[in-house]
Amino acid sequence: MNREDLLDFNFDWRDEETFKQALKDSNLSEKEKLRLRDERMRRLELEELRAENSDYDDYDYDDDDEELEEPQPEENEVTDGKEKNDKKDRKSKKGKDPDGLIVAIKGDYPMRKTFVALLMCIFTAILPYVSYMHSQPGSELTEKYFTFENGYITDWFLFQKEFFVVIAAVILCGIFLVEEFFVEKHWKDIPLRKKNMRLPLVLTGLYALLLIISGIASEHKELVMMGVVKQYEGLLGVLGYLIIFLAAINYFCDTKSLKRFSWAMIITTLAASIFAVMEYMGYPLQSTEFMAHLIAPADKYEVARSLHSTSSNVHITFFNSNYFGSFCGLMFPLTAALGLGSKNIAMKILGLTAAAGIAVGAVLSNSSGGLYSVAGSGAILFIIYLIYWCRGTIRRVPALIAFVCAAAVCAAGMFYMVNYNDGFRKRFTEVVNNGSSSKTTVEEKRAKLAADHFVLKEICQDGSKLVLDDYSGNTVTVEGYLADSGINAVRFYDTEGEPLDTYVDDDKCYCFTDDRYLNCNFKFSVSDKLYIDLGYEKKLVFQYEDEKFKPYVHSLYTMEEINTYKGPEFFKKDLSAFTGRFFIWGSTISMLDDCILIGKGSGNYVTYFPQYDYVSLLEVYDTPAMVVNKPHNWYLGVAVDSGVISLIVLLTLLGAFLVKGFKAVILHPVQDRFTHLRLGIFVSVIAFMVVGIVNDSYVCVSPVFWFIFGVGWYSVSGNKVIETD
């Protein structure tokens, strides 16, 4: 076949095998072959559109345009029958074309759609760094759990991010409603109207409905809308995530928007990497004059410049180093895939630099979850790329060179930092060994503490008595009684129920002569408060009233009962595992019986968690005063906030994406310019889901995840990507 016939489509180009053979036998360049494939896909798409919209062409097809002119068959019965068979063949082969899903169409793709997508890219790129001082007044409820200074608690990094998300969600809703009711009636190809988009629409709507119902039914409605202090992920924030998710599906269906998405993700990741290194070197972002002016009013400028982490862990503007670690795990596979797969030299260099930088950031954050998610996602990327290489999905020689170079640079960089930078080596060792087998066992820890602590095993109320047991089998009982003088007093008994000999030291504390109780002493004040010193930094405090010792919390109020651990025995074996997460997870699971249909409402976790479980707190944190305000698990947080059913809905949404992604990325990968983008998003979602086991959903990272998730859902669903470049 000569070159002119091939370029003019003067052959049976509708048949896939004939078309492939013609390309194979031709002497066309790779660029010309790519253009022919795109043109064939465009023509097939146009024929399908004309068949489906016989009297209404929403793609502005023009028969007089020479560029789109196609040879018309003779109008006879034989030709008509052949066309019908061709259409059936194309429908049966739909979605199986290996040459990509990019479609060129006649007519301008609405500029407003690409503009909205651009705004979403800018919003997501700057959101992690949005900060401004917010002073939250305390209430009777929140003061039970948090410490307020002069009646206020100051937040720098969370509230304004949630406010930003809510405003963005409102704007996106407004734009979509205007398009839907006043503009888009002539444009039928709206992604959210597609049949394969019904599943995310239904699941997202159901999840939102359960969130709203749980909020309405919540006992503490003042915490629902914007969330509780030090967290600020309320009902409005989570609904904002879902709107961002749907908007990403709806507006990122063209090549220009997807290219902007790629650049936005690389730039924000590169910025986070630079800021992390700056903070590690002693120059945190907020200490710069420019940033301090941005995040604080004039009278608080110096306060902003003095902000710093209470530990050596890097967190930038993410409030907590664990949340920065989650961000690292989310962005590493995406930027790595974009860098490896891009033919644009600038994007390749910046993408790989961002990936390497954010991997270093995971180490600097001292977040085990972040580092493990980076390592795990890197392993998954390597396995999938190895599959691509074996199949010939990617060009083997350039891919091999790229992998070897990237691995060599990463290995050399890590070797240099670990061997020649003492601070980095120490940080890396701490992160890697956190939770490893080298950690002290529970029994070893208790034995070590027993040297100078009364290691509490159980504490319970028994009428006017308070009974304390330790792990050595010793018991001390405190009994309150009314003395002859008419005031309340206390007396003490040993394991056998015999009175204990006591003496009063200089601090007016009761101490024991019995060697079994040398590590504990008691003080009973004139206000009927019992202070128990078991050798820890802080004392247990009880108020004796109504002939009963009641926990006296924060010097504010009393509790009728002492909370005890009621979770699964599996976690009880080592409550301090995963930096105390076993204790929190087990206690949270014990709450789920009351959260089957609906939850407690957004922001209400802290009010329902069994706080002041003294035995568990002393074992895990060595203090009885710790307040648990988050579950350290995304999935448990969803179950408590909006119910177990809503968790099932969320898992179904995530699971459906994984199934679609597995098919589109691994089983039948589509070969076009966005192959690596799909792969990067697929692995990023997996990484975030994994790190969600040990970290919460937070307004610093979750909007970015839902944005990526929305773009990914459309891209792995086999939908056409419109050529707008």
Q: Give tens-digit pLDDT for 664-721.
A: 999 988 888 899 999 999 999 999 999 999 999 899 999 999 999 999 999 998 878 8
Greater confidence (380 vs 422) lies with 380
Mark which of 558, 580, 602 sits at the end of a domain.
558
How many angstroms separate the first and last alpha carbons of the chain?
A: 31
What is the model's pLDDT at position 439? 63
Residue ranges in 527-566 assigned as alpha helix (H): none
Note whether 665 and 701 are same-domain residues. Answer: yes
Reported as a pLDDT band with limits 50, 70 and 90, residue 54 is very low
Residue 64 is predicted with a pLDDT of 38
Does residue 612 sit within a domain? no
Q: Is 130 a residue whose pLDDT tops 70?
A: yes
Query: In this structure, are 86 and 49 located in the same domain?
Result: yes
| Structural domain that includes position 59 | 3-103
Same domain, 61 and 136: no
In this prediction, residue 93 carries a pLDDT of: 45
Q: Report the C-alpha gap between 720 and 120 in whole angstroms.
A: 21
Q: What is the pLDDT of residue 49?
A: 63
Mean pLDDT of 563-580: 90
pLDDT at residue 434, as a whole number: 59
The answer to whether residue 308 scores a pLDDT higher than 90 is no
pLDDT higher at 641 or 105: 641
* 491 vs 302, higher pLDDT: 491
pLDDT of residue 430: 66
Res 57: pLDDT? 37
Comparing C-alpha atoms, which of 662, 664, 678 is closest to residue 258?
678
Mean pLDDT of 578-594: 94
Q: CA distances (Å), 377 to each of 309, 427, 679, 681, in order? A: 28, 21, 11, 11
Q: Percentage of residues in the chain with pLDDT exceeding 90? A: 53
Contacts of residue 237, defined as CB under 8 A and 6 or more positions apart, other chains included, come to 162, 165, 166, 226, 227, 602, 699
Residue 412 and residue 459 in one domain:
no
Q: What is the mean pLDDT of residues 318-329?
A: 93
In this prediction, residues 265-291 reach a mean pLDDT of 90
pLDDT for the residue numbered 310: 66
C-alpha span between 304 and 295 (Å, rounded):
7
CA dihedral over 523, 529, 531, 537, signed as positive or negative: negative
The verdict on 97 and 124 lying in the same domain is: no
Asked if pLDDT for residue 109 goes beyond 60, the answer is yes
Cβ–Cβ under 8 Å, residues 722 and 191: no
Confidence of residue 73 (pLDDT cuts 50, 70, 90): very low
Note whether 284 and 390 are same-domain residues.
Answer: yes
pLDDT computed for residue 147 by the predictor: 84
Residue 553 forms beta bridges with which residues? Answer: 557
Query: Does 393 have pLDDT greater than 60?
Result: yes
Say how far apart CA 250 and CA 193 lie, in whole Å: 9
Element (H, E) at 331: helix 321-341
Q: Is 723 part of a structural domain of the chain?
A: no
Rounded average pLDDT over 474-499: 92
Boundary (domain end) residue, out of 558, 586, 615: 558
pLDDT of residue 604: 95
Average pLDDT over residues 603-624: 92
Residues 234, 366, single domain; the answer is: yes
With H, G, I as helix, E, B as strand and everything else as coil, classify residue 489.
strand
* Per-residue pLDDT at 303: 85
> Do 273 and 366 belong together in one domain?
yes
Place of tokens 């579950």: 631
Q: What is the mean pLDDT of the chain?
A: 85
Q: How far is CA 368 from CA 319, 428, 466, in A?
A: 17, 10, 40
pLDDT value at residue 192: 84
**pLDDT value of position 423:** 66
- The pLDDT, as a whole number, for residue 100 is 52
pLDDT digits (tens, 9 = 90+) for 629-646: 999 999 999 999 999 999
Q: Determine which of 49-63, 170-184, 327-341 has the lowest per-residue pLDDT on average.
A: 49-63
**Confidence (pLDDT) at 14:** 81
Q: Which residue has the higher pLDDT, 405 or 108?
A: 405
Higher pLDDT, 50 or 166: 166
User: HEC string of 216-230?
Assistant: HHCCCHHHCCCCCCC
Q: What is the model's pLDDT at position 106?
A: 44
pLDDT score at 94:
43
Model confidence pLDDT, tens digit, residues 425-446 = 776 676 666 544 456 788 888 8
Question: 3-state class of 393 per DSSP?
Answer: coil
Q: Which helix (H) or strand (E) holds 503?
A: strand 502-504
pLDDT digits (tens, 9 = 90+) for 138-195: 898 998 888 888 889 999 999 999 999 999 999 999 998 888 777 765 555 578 888 8
Which of 68, 51, 7, 53 is closest to 32 using CA atoms?
7
pLDDT of res. 167: 97
In a domain, 579, yes or no: no
Asked if residues 690 and 379 have their Cβ atoms less than 8 Å apart, the reply is no
93-115: average pLDDT = 61
Give the DSSP per-residue string, 261-302: HHHHHHHHHHHHHHHHHHHHTT--GGGSHHHHHHHS-GGGHH
Residue 712: inside a domain, yes or no?
A: yes
pLDDT at res. 69: 41
CA 592/CA 587 separation, integer angstroms: 9
Q: For residue range 445-472, list pLDDT tens digits in order.
A: 888 888 888 999 999 999 999 999 999 8
| Residue 301 placed within a domain | yes
- The answer as to whether 565 is a domain residue is no
Range of weakest confidence among 92-96, 430-434, 483-487, 688-692: 92-96
Is residue 365 within 8 A of residue 701, CB to CB? The reply is no
pLDDT for the residue 587: 96
Please tell me the predicted confidence (pLDDT) of residue 5: 74
Mean pLDDT is lowest, of 46-55, 289-298, 575-584, 592-601, for 46-55
| CB of 19 closer than 8 Å to CB of 13 | yes
34 inside domain: yes
Same domain for 450 and 396? Answer: no
Q: In this structure, are residues 344 and 401 in contact, taking their beta carbons and an 8 Å threshold? A: no
pLDDT above 90 for 419: no
What pLDDT does 233 receive? 94
| pLDDT confidence bin for 96, thresholds 50/70/90 | very low
Q: Are residues 98 and 157 in the same domain?
A: no
Q: Given a cut of 50, is residue 232 above it in pLDDT? A: yes
Q: Does residue 53 carry a pLDDT above 60?
A: no
DSSP 408-427: HHHHHHHHHHHHH-HHHHHH
- Domain end marker among 103, 127, 142: 103
Dist. CA 635–CA 693, nearest whole Å: 7
Chain centroid to CA 340: 24
Q: What average pLDDT score do residues 14-38 get? A: 80
Q: In this structure, is residue 319 part of a structural domain?
A: yes
pLDDT of residue 71: 44
How many structural domains are present in the chain? 3
Question: Which two structure tokens, joined as six digits, stand for 413?
Answer: 């960089």
Residues 406 and 455 in one domain: no
Query: Does residue 97 register a pLDDT over 70?
Result: no
Indicate whether 132 and 177 sit together in one domain: yes
Between residues 541 and 392, which one has the greater pLDDT?
541
